[in-house]
Amino acid sequence: MSRRIIPVADFSAAPVIAGPVQTPTGVLHDTLARPLRDLRISVTDRCNFRCVYCMPRAVFDKDYTFLPHGALLSFEEIERLARLFVAHGVEKIRLTGGEPLLRKNLEFLIERLARLSTPAGHPLDLTLTTNGSLLERKARSLKDAGLTRVTVSLDALDDALFRRMNDADFAVADVLDGIAAAHAVGLAPVKVNMVVKRGTNDREIVPMARHFKGSGAVLRFIEYMDVGTSNGWNMTEVLPSADVVTRIAEHFPLAPLDAHSAAETAQRWGHVDGSGEIGVISSVTRAFCGSCTRARLSTEGKLYLCLFASAGHDLRALLRSGASDAGIATAVAEIWQGRGDRYSQLRGSSTAETRVLDSRRVEMSYIGG
């Protein structure tokens, strides 16, 4: 029997536009005075990996029912929404999944998005997160289409361990070849993300730091997060970022670096010999909700205001109902202006709000990381 386990509310109607038309000004704030600056767009819910912390095979098995193609936003719909978000102040768009490179003809979408510019006339920071499995063959076409940078997920250098973690028998060497190809065509600096799960791959921290030191890539270590409800998350499997930094500094002296912006999620550390930097994303032990400027658009057009949200706002229904650009832009403004999400700051509290979120959070594979 096929299963589809995505614990989110499925809105059948478009958001109600309650107030007057709001013409985008390039500045939009939520209830906590956080601006809208980043939009993450999931282009597919499918992935060719079955990573234990994201799409465990026990849930996402051969009988799992993925979204039909007609349910996905078309490239034209994504471009239209992206243009309206940019008018509201978005400066960075990240394409995610699932595995975004599985979306057929993705380069056509990138070409469309690369033509957008901010109200001040600046080009967008247009990036993509990938597991690297298809990157070697696609790096050149992605760059030519207008992609700025890539982030590659890589959770171990030990090949046997990596194959167990991706549960798809995919080799480390092929991901490294993809990283090299991205660097060669100018999709740089390439960022490499390692999700650290205590007792599973934490012994790979120092080997990863050694491998990427001096490579030009920026290695980032991410605390194992409680996104969704299918990965069996347990706090005992979280290795605090402070411990990651300590382990690396025992081998390679580090010095703290300033953040690129107030909204940056990673704490930056530089090798004191000038051979590059690492970053740590303390998504569990150090909440950064107060500076979060990100919205997330799901594969089927639902807008989520937090990675840990339990429900979205159905923009696809607005698009397909014939709503005008002014109407959709107003809906986006009203949604963002009502945003008060700060799950990570509330995590572990006994409030009714967090109890509901803990039981119904959206899956990472559906919303993108």
For residues 62 and 65, give the distance between their C-alpha atoms in angstroms, rounded to a whole number.
9
More confident residue, 207 or 265: 207
User: What pLDDT sits at residue 4?
Assistant: 41
Domain boundaries of the chain, sorted by first residue: 38-367
User: What pLDDT sits at residue 344?
Assistant: 63
Burial of 167 (0-12, 13-18, 19+ CB in 10 A): middle
pLDDT digits 0-9 by tens, 318-358: 999 999 999 999 999 999 999 987 766 565 544 544 444 44
How does residue 221 score in pLDDT terms, banded at 50, 70 and 90? very high
Q: How far is it between the farthest Cα atoms of the chain?
A: 60
pLDDT of 364 > 50? The answer is: yes
The pairing of strands 125-130 and 92-96 is parallel
User: What pLDDT sits at residue 355?
Assistant: 45
Q: Could you tell me the two tokens for 352?
A: 């009714």
How does residue 233 score in pLDDT terms, banded at 50, 70 and 90? low
Q: Are 46 and 66 in contact (CB under 8 A)?
A: yes
Among 214, 145, 151, which Cα is nearest to 182's? 151
Q: How far is CA 29 from CA 19, 268, 333, 345, in A?
A: 16, 27, 9, 19
Q: How far is CA 111 from CA 39, 82, 181, in A?
A: 17, 13, 20
pLDDT of 147 > 90? The answer is: yes
For residues 61 and 129, give the distance between their C-alpha atoms in angstroms, rounded to a whole number.
23
Question: What's the mean pLDDT in 281-296?
Answer: 84
User: What pLDDT sits at residue 226?
Assistant: 65
Among 348, 154, 361, which Cα is nearest to 235's? 348
More confident residue, 349 or 141: 141
| Assigned CATH topology for domain 38-367 | TIM Barrel (3.20.20)
